[in-house]
Chains A and B, each alone.
Chain A
Amino acid sequence: MAILVYVEQASGKIKKTSLEAISYAFALAQKTGEGAVVAIALGTIDVQELAAIGEAGASKVLHGTDERLNAGVIQAHATAVAQAFQAVGASTLVLAKSSLGDAVAARLAIKLEAGLVSNVVELPQLENGFVVKRSIYTGKAFADTIMTTPKKILAIKKNAVDQKVDGVKAQVEVFDLSLPATDFASKITDTKRTIGEVLLPEADIVVSGGRGMKGPENWGMIEDLAQSLGAATGCSKPVSDLGWRPHHEHVGQTGVKVAPTLYIAIGISGAIQHLAGVNSSKCIVVINKDPEAPFFKAADYGIVGDAFEIVPQLTAALKAAQ
């Protein structure tokens, strides 16, 4: 029995969260004694890039080369992954949680008659059946979930495992797909991508600003700090509601949920809805002039003071330390 991992690409690069999913599958295979970890990748991707998936723990990569799959066409991706699942005789499908991954996994659960758990945060416990721990209530709690089906699908939350980097290059095989035209019935008319920025849901470091920044004209210092760290920029809900920053930067319960190694919150008081979007961060730094700001209770490090003075100093100190 093999474990199949559905990996996602963005502009021909395998996403880091997908490499974490491979690493998770590798650790799972070791724990359950299951066989090989096989990846399925879809669309136009360079063969070297595919072989490098092996470093995270996959021994083989199946490549569905149909260029119509460069876009995240949900039904076609689900059909393709189901065909790979059957072809390798897999028992378990692992993937990284993402907006595309969720949609594809849900359809696959029905197609494959497999149980599905999303937001998985660690390897399963096998002492009493197959028990998976997942994050619920937007990170405010965890649930141990018993999976009863022979086939299983696990959608992994970011940072659930450390990415493995010491594997060897994987063998890459072209995988023939037979995709019905109905899977492509919806027509993508346009795609707009923000080029050159670090993607917020995937970022290892996030710098967010709140209403304490006083206006969109002051975001230059947030961007400078983010740039010095190679970080993505985010904001609180009031900031996106006021139109200071675009909606896709809104971090929180009803916005983007992030799980970076380092989250820096500037001029954000720390409403419970905002905290729900950041509570999976490894380390939280809060800069706020109000010592009573609730965010300090959720922070690892804090500075009480004026962001307009501290942020430029922090950027300079970071540059000096590099």
Chain B
Amino acid sequence: MKILVCITHVPDTTSKIHFTDNNTKFDPSGVQYIIGPYDDYALARAVELRDQTGGTLTALNVGEAETEPSLRKALAIGADDAIRINSFPKDSFFVAKQIAQVAKEGSYDLILMGRESIDFNGGMVHGMVGELLGMPSFSPVMKLEVEGTTVKMAREIEGGKEYLEAQLPLIAGCQEPIAEWKIPNMRGIMSARTKPLVVVEPGSFATQAEASSYQLPPAKGAVKLVDKDQVAELVRLLKNEAKVL
């Protein structure tokens, strides 16, 4: 089985977000970058599936040179090779077009990624790639087993879970508890240095919805503390002042 895992290179979840250049650019100073947490689940499950069924696992990222540490980490965790499509990820449509082009050439059986990136939170790329390749796409997938060409999945739906079966090839947007995150070991880190990381130039695709400027939410006013012996006062405030009851 040929598996493709698409990963994002995003600010770590504890990052404080700032912008520069008159609020037109993200300010990366002091920010640590990670593989997107949902993508990390997808990657972990992909490594398990590759180990079970044999075949190959390719990690892919649409990003400029500074995203390579995340691809090296994916190789250290267990991907066999990596592809970096050399472009800033301008919008989800642009990214999906790039991924679809590379995925088509590679004719993968299974394409996994996170349910959404944690920077732009669109949750759109798996569906777009699915439609571009004429493959079914499923999200958010929290369990995924492969038996021959049949894929058994559990998908989160509002208020519950849906269990389904589909045939390869397909695309899944993943979330926990599909697998436990894997931490690279020393052997993995050493071997990652020599595994192939191919850089391909992007296709020239238009964008449809690029961000032009950014804002931070307005600062929150100070908390109003209520004495612990005055619980009824809190109810009164919620009712009459905040008007939320």
Contacts and interface: CB of A to CB of B under 8 A. Distances in A.
B167 interface: yes
Interface stretch (A31-39, A41-49, A132-140): A132-140
A116 interface: yes
A147 B208 contact: yes
Nearest to A183: B136
A187 B223 contact: no
B209 interface: yes
Interface string B195-210: 0000000000001111
Interface string A136-176: 11111111111111000000000000000000000000000
B92 interface: yes
A71 B121 contact: no
B214 A142 contact: yes
Interface string A166-208: 0000000000000000000111111111100101011001000
Given A186-B166, A296-B223, A301-B224, A276 B13 contact: yes
Contact of A303 (B11, B131, B225): B225
Interface residues of B, number: 80
Nearest to A312: B231
B193 interface: no
B64 interface: no
Contacts of B38: 254
Nearest to B14: A272
A282 B138 CA distance: 32
Interface string B31-64: 0000001100000000000000000000000000
B157 A191 contact: yes
Nearest to A298: B220
A285 B211 contact: no
Contact of B209 (A72, A117, A296): A117
A321 B226 CA distance: 17
B93 interface: yes
A28 interface: no
A286 B156 CA distance: 29
A149 to B, nearest CB: 5
Nearest to A17: B158
B37 A254 contact: yes
A239 B152 CA distance: 28
A188 B242 contact: no
B121 A10 contact: no
Interface stretch (B78-86, B102-110, B122-130): B122-130
A27 interface: no
Contact of A191 (B16, B163, B213, B239): B163
Given A141-B19, A145-B211, A191-B162, A185 B136 contact: yes
Contacts of A248: 156
Nearest to A130: B209
Q: Is the interface of B mostly helix, strand, loop or mixed?
A: mixed
B224 A302 contact: yes
A131 interface: yes
A191 B209 contact: no
Interface stretch (A61-69, A96-104, A211-219): A96-104
B158 A254 contact: no
A198 B217 CA distance: 29
A273 interface: yes
B228 interface: yes
Contact of B235 (A72, A186, A247, A318): A318
B209 A137 contact: no
Interface string B115-158: 11011111111111011100011111010000000001000111
A286 B19 CA distance: 30
Nearest to A141: B17
Contacts of B30: none
Contacts of A29: none
B186 interface: no
B164 interface: yes
A259 B160 CA distance: 19
A191 B161 contact: yes
B127 to A, nearest CB: 3
Nearest to B97: A110
A285 B224 CA distance: 9
Given A110-B131, A118-B122, A185-B166, A149 B225 contact: no
Interface of B: 11, 13-14, 16-17, 19, 37-38, 92-93, 96, 115-116, 118-128, 130-132, 136-140, 142, 152, 156-167, 173, 175-177, 207-217, 220-221, 223-228, 231-232, 234-239, 242, 244-245
28 contacts: A74-B138, A75-B136, A99-B139, A102-B124, A105-B127, A115-B209, A116-B124, A116-B209, A132-B209, A136-B120, A136-B214, A138-B118, A141-B19, A141-B216, A143-B211, A143-B214, A191-B163, A205-B244, A248-B156, A272-B14, A272-B16, A273-B14, A283-B244, A297-B223, A305-B228, A309-B228, A314-B234, A321-B239
